[in-house]
Amino acid sequence: MNIALIGLGVMGKNHYTELRKKDINLFCYDVIKPEWIEDELYFSNLDELLSNKIDGAIIVVPTKYHYEVFLKLSEKVKYILIEKPLSFNLDEAYAIKQSGVNVAVGFCERFNPVSLEFLKQSQGEEIKYASFIRASKKPARISDVGVDLDLCVHDIDLANFFGIKAEFNISKMNNPCTQIKLNSNNLDILASWEFNSRIRKAFINTNVSSYELDFLNSRLIKDEVVMELKSHSSLSREQDEFINYIKTNNLGYLASVDDAIYTQQIL
Q: Is the pLDDT of residue 217 over 80?
A: yes
Distance of CA 139 to CAs 52, 58, 63, 242, 258, Å? 35, 22, 15, 27, 28
Which residues touch 106 (CB under 8 Å, ≥6 apart)? Answer: 58, 81, 82, 83, 84, 238, 255
CA angle 16–152–188, rounded 5-degree value: 140
Q: Write down the pLDDT at residue 146.
A: 83
Q: Write down the pLDDT at residue 144.
A: 65
| Residue 46, SS3 per DSSP | helix
Q: Is the pLDDT of residue 223 over 80?
A: yes
Mean pLDDT of the chain: 95
Higher-scoring residue by pLDDT: 227, 148: 227
What CATH architecture does domain 2-106+236-266 belong to? 3-Layer(aba) Sandwich (3.40)
pTM: 0.92
Q: Write down the pLDDT at residue 143.
A: 64
Q: Is the pLDDT of residue 149 over 90?
A: no
* % pLDDT > 90, the chain: 88
Write out pLDDT tens, residues 88-128: 899 999 999 999 999 999 999 999 999 999 999 999 999 99
Write out pLDDT tens, residues 124-140: 999 999 999 999 998 77
For 112-231, CATH number out of 3.40.30.10, 3.40.50.970, 3.20.20.70, 3.30.360.10 equals 3.30.360.10
Q: Is the pLDDT of residue 14 over 90?
A: yes
Q: Write down the pLDDT at residue 142.
A: 66
- In this chain, the answer to whether the domains covering 2-106+236-266 and 112-231 adopt an identical fold is no
Q: Write down the pLDDT at residue 215.
A: 97
Residue-wise over 149-174: b if at least 16 C-beta within 10 A, else e? bbbbbbbbbbbbbbebebebeeebee
Which residues touch 152 (CB under 8 Å, ≥6 apart)? Answer: 134, 180, 182, 189, 191, 267
Q: Is the pLDDT of residue 181 over 90?
A: yes
Q: Is the pLDDT of residue 221 over 90?
A: yes
Q: Is the pLDDT of residue 22 over 70?
A: yes
Domain ranges of the chain: 2-106+236-266, 112-231
Q: Is the pLDDT of residue 168 over 90?
A: yes
